[in-house]
Amino acid sequence: MKVSLNKKILSKNEECALQNRAFFTENNTLCLNVISSPGSGKTTIIVRTIRELKDKMKIGVIEGDIKTDTDAAKIRETGAPAVQIETRGACHLSAQQVTSKLGAISAGELDVVFIENVGNLVCASDFDLGEQGRVVVLSVPEGDDKPTKYPGTFAKANVLLINKTDLLDHVEFDTDKVISDAGKLNPDLKIFQISAKTGQGMNGWYNWLLGLCTKTAK
Amino acid sequence: MKVSLNKKILSKNEECALQNRAFFTENNTLCLNVISSPGSGKTTIIVRTIRELKDKMKIGVIEGDIKTDTDAAKIRETGAPAVQIETRGACHLSAQQVTSKLGAISAGELDVVFIENVGNLVCASDFDLGEQGRVVVLSVPEGDDKPTKYPGTFAKANVLLINKTDLLDHVEFDTDKVISDAGKLNPDLKIFQISAKTGQGMNGWYNWLLGLCTKTAK
């Protein structure tokens, strides 16, 4: 009975994920699901990306948090559309929640939609939201053992942003080990070393985004 | 049907948690459930605590991780007994898993058992493991918004360790805000500002532990 119930729950999420993906594809909107531990810098990365690329692409954000709408407020300060989902205890966003917010940010008119998932390096990666790509953020102070400890999350990602490289002189962190361990789990993983605080290394990430974004080029 | 199934699962965990708590009480063993985001420094805190207090109390550790047994190996280097639980995808430890490992570290002969939960600031706090106290670790680079964003975890804790204070000069972090926000959620929360790397501020935490430990005093 437990198995069939789990299957039913997953199927509902999967169904909505398929609908979301069809919507994004139809509208040439690139949707990226951004996953990380709490405090790795997801919001700071998205805010800086919006400010740097605002003349080149239209970006909107769906924010997920257990509680508070502070992150959506930070995004809106850039002028970009943002909507908050408060999960009130749930440890990840669901595809249904994403579906319910597509209208609020006029997602079909955007070049890129970032879904900033709840800060959680485990659960978020098990739920397809209908995104076209997954971005995992690992910040330097979290330590270089995270790909081996949380292999599923790194194996299912398309991009790894190693963030807070401005702190490399102050903590123990072997970047080569992370690149090697993550590469073993996921040979196709695209990796950028960045500091969203200083801007260092962000150009590679911006160019990757611009290269994927087909709407503006039309 | 969903509600009754959830209730059954919770009841089984609760049943085991009650048994674990009775075991710890009967043996005068202080059991602490240590919860945090990935990479906040749980293992480093426990390793330093064991090294500093090894002449004063017997400490053992039950380690939880999605994958790898590197943390248990780090603990064993101190000479303390440690056993690893690999949850293989599950985002938190269960009381049953803890029960199954009590023998492996001869928990009844110890003064303190630390249960280092899976790195997860959401899910771990929903499951009673039969501990007598909860320690939440928040590291400075994670940011000062975590109590308001993850209120349940901070509300259910007995101790908050604000770790990596050696990085305060390099990141934006308002310690007073964290203390105020966490205090509003949980007026009885005991808070220590520490650096497990440099040892700064650890004495308050050690004294708190020694004050609670009744076995050695007998």
pLDDT tens digit sequence for B128-154:
999 999 999 999 999 999 999 999 999
Give residue B160's identity as a one-letter amino acid code: L
Q: Is the pLDDT of residue B126 over 60?
A: yes
Beta carbons within 10 angstroms of residue A213's beta carbon: 20
Q: How confident is the model at residue A218 (pLDDT cuts 50, 70, 90)?
A: very low
> Could you tell me the two tokens for A142?
């979290």
Those residues with Cβ within 8 angstroms of residue B107's Cβ, 6 or more apart along the chain or in another chain: B23, B24, B27, B29, B31, B60, B113
Is A5 within 8 Å of chain B by CB? yes
By the 10 Å C-beta count (0-12 exposed, 13-18 middle, 19+ buried), B8 is classed as exposed
| CB < 8 Å to B67, chain A | 148-151
Rg from Cα positions in chain A: 17
Q: Is the pLDDT of residue B1 over 50?
A: no
| CB < 8 Å to B170, chain A | 166-167, 170
Q: How confident is the model at residue B213 (pLDDT cuts 50, 70, 90)?
A: confident
Architecture (CATH level 2) of domain A11-211: 3-Layer(aba) Sandwich (3.40)
pLDDT tens digits along A31-56: 999 999 999 999 999 999 999 999 99
Q: What does the alpha-carbon distance between residue A83 and residue A103 come to, in Å, rounded to a whole number?
A: 10
CB-defined contacts A:B, below 8 A:
118
CB A125 within 8 A of CB A117: no
pLDDT tens digits along A156-176: 999 999 999 999 999 999 999
Q: Is the pLDDT of residue B218 over 50?
A: no
Q: What does the alpha-carbon distance between residue A200 and residue A194 come to, in Å, rounded to a whole number?
A: 6
Helix and strand counts by DSSP (H, E) for chain A: 8, 7
What is residue A11's predicted lDDT score, i.e. its pLDDT?
77
Using the beta-carbon criterion (under 8 Å), do A39 and B150 form an inter-chain contact?
no
Those residues with Cβ within 8 angstroms of residue A193's Cβ, 6 or more apart along the chain or in another chain: A162, A165, A175, A201
Q: Which of B210, B202, B207 is nearest to B41 (CA)?
A: B202
B12-B13-B14 Cα angle (round to 5): 90
Q: How confident is the model at residue A213 (pLDDT cuts 50, 70, 90)?
A: confident
Is B88 within 8 Å of chain A by CB? no
pLDDT tens digits along B66-79: 999 999 999 999 99
